[in-house]
Amino acid sequence: MTDTIPVRVWRGGDAGAFQTFDVALRDNQTVLDIVTDIQRRQDPTLSYRFACRVGVCGSCAMTVNGVPRWTCRTHVAKVAAEGVLTLEPLRNLPRLKDLAVDMTPFFDKWQKAGGTFEGRKTRDDAVDPVKPGSRARKAADAAIECINCAVCYAACDVVDWDPDYLGPAALNRVWTLVNDRRHARRSDTLDKAAQSGGCGSCHSQGACMRHCPVGLSPTESIAGLKRALLFSLLGGRL
């Protein structure tokens, strides 16, 4: 007889309800292990998303006991102190079925934010060296490891309140681009960051940086974009 934990899982789309499963507890069990256990042993119709299981692909994020998390690197023992797990799909995205959300708006806004690199050189030119110790490179470094899991997007209240807000991840990406000295269209990129629903909509509540599973700080990146806008004023751009 093994110990079990009651797991409340959201079933259905926008209209739906919680269904409770009792799942056997194991050592070093992750929340993703729990979901997989339910699908394999109790209900094969349970829908959820995952790929790598090791915190690289960013596809398994869900709401775990009210907090957005990457489930593959979240240990049950750490988050189920009260002996219950409640699993819901990510907030702020359309619910498809069970624990899977439609990520389209998240990636559409990524495009709208204009985080697309454009180089100056061709393949015939010599490689443009980026000094690892330079200020811009360090700023980009601090923001560059995003895995597109949308945990920050789910944690952000402004995303919830303002459907036009581009969100922390997309703007964080723009900040890395602004700091890339090889990028040919820095000024245009900054213009896009200032669009309606852009960096001006962030109020530094900091939920994105508190919840980011890989320890990035989109709040800091967006503050950097606002600072860049202010300094661009000195160059006569308003």
Please report, as ranges, the residues that interact with another protein according to CB under 8 A: 65-68, 139, 155, 157-158, 161-162, 164, 191, 194-196, 198-201, 203-207, 209-211, 217, 219-220, 223-224, 226-227, 229-230, 233, 237-238
Shortest distance in whole angstroms from residue 145 CB to another protein: 17
Sole residue written with tokens 């990510």: 90
Using the minimum distance from each CB to another protein, give the nearer residue, 126 or 234.
Answer: 234
Q: Which is nearer to another protein, 37 or 191 (CB)?
A: 191
Residue 58 or 224 having the CB closest to another protein: 224
Please list, in sequence order, all residues whose beta carbon lies within 8 angstroms of the beta carbon of residue 158, skipping any fewer than 6 positions away. 165, 201, 202, 203, 205
Q: How far is the CB of 33 from another protein (least distance, A)?
A: 22
End-to-end CA distance of the chain: 69
Cβ proximity to another protein, 46 vs 90, nearer residue: 90
Q: Of 40 and 227, which has the nearer Cβ to another protein?
A: 227
Least CB distance from residue 44 to another protein, whole Å? Answer: 31
Instruction: Print burial letters for 181-197: b (CB count within 10 Å at least 16), e (below 16).
Output: eebebbeebbebbeeeb
Q: Which is nearer to another protein, 43 or 141 (CB)?
A: 141
Nearest 5 degrees, angle CA 103-CA 101-CA 22? 150
> In 3D, which of 92, 67, 65 has the Cα closest to residue 8?
65
CB of 187: closest distance to another protein in angstroms? 12
CB of 18 to another protein, least distance (A): 17
Alpha helices (H) along the chain: 31-41, 76-79, 104-112, 135-143, 151-155, 157-161, 168-178, 186-193, 207-211, 218-234
Strand bridging mode 4-12 / 85-88: parallel
- Min dist CB 229 to another protein, Å, is 6
